[in-house]
């Protein structure tokens, strides 16, 4: 009899717990709280949306979620949203982004042609932006051709951040020089001199640049690429 009684109590307790869990799930749903799967689906839908609207030569900006990206964003003076950017090209149903970035260990520090879904991976970034320059068809074609040339040449990342040289580049430098070349200097991206020694201490950990080679150099902050009269930010996407 006691055994039967304990079985009944256990069954009732299990049912009660199940009921509480279902109630909690229902309450979360009622409050508009999304599950991890729902958030990921929403984020991927943003990438799918921009993919439909991208044209050759458009710029995709990204907000990285790593430590160094935060400091790169902080160098920008007007808009500290984005830490990286690249130029899009369509190939059939796919969209690729020409860009150059540095990796830990510097094993793949060269211009890449990365598929959009990977470039805008919501697991590695906080969001992205879609921007477009005011270029005519010939300028736009030359702009994309410039990016393809850097990719073909495997142009390395510029660890010295020297805009005076063309044998290596960083992301905003490559876009600036591509615009100059494609528009016969009509579209110019303004540079600034870098004097933030406090920020240099953080950047040094990743790029190993001697302070004498970096502080005081002309630099192209990411926000100067899109806070510009010849550039329109079509839409900003913030991941959930």
Q: What is the pLDDT, as a whole number, of residue 213? A: 72
Higher pLDDT, 194 or 101: 101
Domain regions of the chain by residue span: 1-30, 55-238
Work out the average pLDDT over 120-128: 96
Residue 6 has pLDDT above 70, yes or no: no
Work out the average pLDDT over 5-20: 43
Residue 129 has pLDDT above 90, yes or no: yes
**Which runs of E-coded beta strand occur in 104-186?**
112-115, 125-133
Domain 55-238 has CATH 3.40.50.450: no
Work out the average pLDDT over 199-224: 76
Q: Which of 31-35, 101-105, 106-110 has the lowest mean pLDDT?
A: 101-105
Work out the average pLDDT over 190-204: 75
pLDDT tens figures, 34-93: 899 999 999 999 999 999 999 999 999 999 998 778 888 988 989 999 999 999 999 999
Q: What is the pLDDT, as a whole number, of residue 34? A: 84
CA distance 170 to 110: 9
Q: Where are the alpha helices (DSSP H) in 31-170?
A: 36-53, 67-75, 116-119, 137-152
- What would you report as the CA-atom Rg of the chain, rounded to the nearest whole angstrom? 24
CA distance 178 to 112: 15
When pLDDT is cut at 50, 70 and 90, the band that residue 31 belongs to is low
Q: What is the pLDDT, as a whole number, of residue 169? A: 95
Could you tell me the strand order of the sheet in which 59-64 lies? 112-115, 94-99, 84-91, 59-64, 125-133, 231-238
What is the model's pTM? 0.83
When pLDDT is cut at 50, 70 and 90, the band that residue 102 belongs to is confident
CB contact at 8 A, 123 and 211: no
pLDDT tens figures, 139-178: 999 999 999 999 999 999 988 888 999 999 999 999 999 9
Residue 2 has pLDDT above 80, yes or no: no
When pLDDT is cut at 50, 70 and 90, the band that residue 16 belongs to is very low
Name the residue among 172, 182, 150 with its Cα closest to residue 62. 172
Q: List all residues 6 or more positions away from 237 whose beta carbon is below 8 Å from its beta carbon.
A: 46, 50, 127, 128, 129, 130
Residue 26 has pLDDT above 60, yes or no: no
Higher pLDDT, 2 or 204: 204
């Amino acid at each position: 009899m006691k055994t039967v009684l304990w079985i009944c109590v256990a069954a009732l307790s299990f049912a009660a717990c199940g009921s509480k869990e279902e109630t909690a799930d229902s309450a979360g749903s009622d409050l508009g709280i999304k599950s991890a799967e729902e958030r990921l689906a929403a984020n991927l839908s943003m990438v799918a949306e921009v993919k439909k609207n991208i044209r050759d030569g458009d710029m995709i900006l990204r907000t990285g979620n790593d430590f160094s990206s935060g400091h790169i964003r902080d160098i920008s003076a007007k808009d500290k949203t984005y830490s990286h950017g690249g130029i899009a090209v369509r190939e059939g149903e796919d969209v690729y982004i020409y860009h150059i970035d540095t990796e830990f260990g510097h094993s793949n520090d060269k211009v890449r042609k990365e598929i959009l879904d990977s470039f805008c991976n919501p697991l590695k970034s906080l969001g992205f932006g879609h921007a477009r320059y005011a270029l005519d068809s010939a300028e736009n074609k030359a702009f994309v051709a410039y990016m393809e040339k850097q990719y073909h040449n495997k142009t390395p990342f510029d660890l010295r951040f020297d805009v005076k040289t063309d044998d290596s580049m960083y992301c905003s430098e490559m876009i600036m020089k591509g615009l100059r070349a494609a528009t016969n200097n009509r579209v110019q991206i303004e540079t600034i001199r870098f004097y933030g020694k406090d920020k240099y201490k953080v950047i040094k950990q990743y790029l190993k640049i001697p302070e004498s080679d970096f502080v005081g150099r002309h630099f192209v902050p990411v926000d100067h690429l899109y806070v510009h009269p010849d550039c329109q930010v079509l839409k900003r996407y913030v991941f959930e």
